[in-house]
Amino acid sequence: MTIDLTGRRAIVAGGSRGIGRAIALAFAEAGAAVSICARGPEALAKTRDDIARFGRPAHAATCDLADAAAIPLYIEAATEALGGLDILVNNASAFGTSDDEAGWNASVAVDLLATVRATRAALPHLEKSPAAAIINISSISGFRASARTPPYGAVKAAVLEYTQTLAAQLARKGIRVNCIAPGSIEFPGGTWERAKNHNPNLYAAILRSIPFGRLGRPEEVASVALFLASPLAGWVTGQNIAVDGGQML
C-alpha cells in the first residue's frame, strides 16, 4: 500500500534528529514539502539537505521551542516557505526527568506548552487545508506510573488528553488530531544510546521489558505518523497509538 503526500505541506517541530528526523524524511519521500525546526543548526542543516534529496521543497530554521515568542514566528516563516500548511507534527521534548523545578519546568515548557503554542499558531493555516492533520508525539510513559521520570510521564499524559480535546474541538473544521506514544526508541545520540554506554543496567532492564527483544527504531514511529497524516487515516481522529513492540505488556 503506497502512501502519497504529493502536494502536502508539513511542519515537524523538533525535526532534526531521532523520531522527528525520521518523520520528516518519511513525509518528504512520500512527496510532501517539509519544514523542520530545532535548536541545533548543524543537525538541522543535515536533515534539511537530506529532505531536499527527495526533490521536495525543504525549509529549516533554528527555534527554541521553550521560547513562547519564537514559536509563532517560526510557524509563520515555515508556512510562507512551504506555501501553506496541511500537516503539523509536534515532536519536541525536553526529556525533563528530574523531580525538581528544572525537570518540571523543562517538560511543561517544551513537551506541553510548545505543543499548545505551535498548534495555536498553525490553526489559521490548517483551517485553509482540505485535509489538515495534527500529530502529537507523546510516550507510553503517559499511560502509566512513571516513577523514574515523574515530570516526563505526567506531561506526556497531558499531551494525550490534549490530543483528545483538540480532536473534539476541531472535528467540525475537518482537522484530524491524533497522537503517537512511542516506547523506548534507540538512535545515535539519543537517550537509550547514552544509557547503553553509561547506564548499562538500566538499558538491560528496558531491553528485558520488551517482548520483541530489542528497542524500537525511529522509522517504525515514522511509518505510523505517515499513515496518520495520509488520506488512509481520513476517518481516524482523537486516537493515541502506542508504538512500543509490546513494551507495556
Q: Of the residues 152, 162, 203, 230, which is catalytic?
A: 152
Q: Is residue 213 part of a domain?
A: no
33, β-bridge pairs: 9
Residue 141 a catalytic site member: no
- The pLDDT assigned to 42 comes to 94
The structural domain count of the chain equals 1
128 exposure class (CB count in 10 Å sphere: 0-12, 13-18, 19+): exposed
pTM: 0.95
Assess whether 152 carries a catalytic annotation: yes
Given the residues 35, 74, 93, 156, the one annotated as active site: 156
Catalytic residue, candidates 16, 35, 93, 138:
138
User: Annotated catalytic, 162?
Assistant: no
Q: Is residue 92 part of a domain?
A: yes
Q: Which domain holds residue 45?
A: 9-186+218-242
Structural domain contains residue 48: yes
In angstroms and rounded to an integer, the radius of gyration of the C-alpha atoms of the chain is 17
Assess if residue 211 is contained within a domain.
Answer: no
Pick from 20, 25, 27, 23: nearest CA to 5: 27
- Catalytic residue at 184? no
Task: Give pLDDT tens digits along the chain (249 positions).
Answer: 789 999 999 999 999 999 999 999 999 999 999 999 999 999 999 999 999 999 999 999 999 999 999 999 999 999 999 999 999 999 999 988 899 999 999 999 999 999 999 999 999 999 999 999 999 999 999 999 988 889 999 999 999 999 999 999 999 999 999 999 999 999 988 888 888 888 899 999 999 999 999 999 999 999 999 999 999 999 999 999 999 999 999
**Cell triple for residue 158?**
497531558
Indicate whether 26 belongs to any domain.
yes
* Structure confidence at residue 102 (pLDDT): 94
CATH number at residue 69: 3.40.50.720
- The pLDDT value given to residue 166: 98
Choose, from 107, 139, 141, 146, the residue flagged as catalytic.
139
Residue 179 CA to residue 161 CA, distance in Å, equals: 10
- State residue 147's pLDDT score: 86
* Angle subtended by helix axes 18-29 and 218-229, to nearest 10: 50
